Amino acid sequence: MAIGVSYVGSWTNYNILAEEKCFGGTGPCFASTRGYWQIYPAFTKANVSVTQRITSAVSGFVSITNLTNNEDYEFLNSVPIMGRVTVAGIQLRY
């Protein structure tokens, strides 16, 4: 079994969606790009994987990334968020 945790502190980056709303005429516009700066909150994401040997040549595994399905932005709010991803499989040794 393996468990991993990633922590990212808060950071400042552009709010691309607000800027695009300005361009589309559906949101307020600012005199400079600094008006689109946004403080993104800190977040933590956990991963876990389990491997079970079935025979000397066959093992099964399950790996889960973003275990808690945390949907906080990791870079910009215009980049899709990857939710929980589960992968299961069999490993063969020959």
CA-wise closest residue to 4 among 67, 56, 51: 67
More confident position, 68 or 75:
68
What are the pLDDT digits (tens) for 18-56? 999 999 999 999 999 899 999 999 999 999 999 999 999
Looking at the chain, the whole-number percentage of residues with pLDDT higher than 90 is 85
The b-or-e profile of 38-69 (16+ CB within 10 A means b, else e) is eebeeeebeeeeeeeeeeeeeeeeeebbbbee
pTM: 0.75
Tell me what percent of the chain is helix, strand and coil, each rounded to the nearest 5: 15, 45, 40
CA 80 – CA 94 distance, rounded (Å): 40
User: What share of the chain has pLDDT > 70, as a percent?
Assistant: 100
pLDDT for res 77: 87
Residue 78: the pLDDT is 86
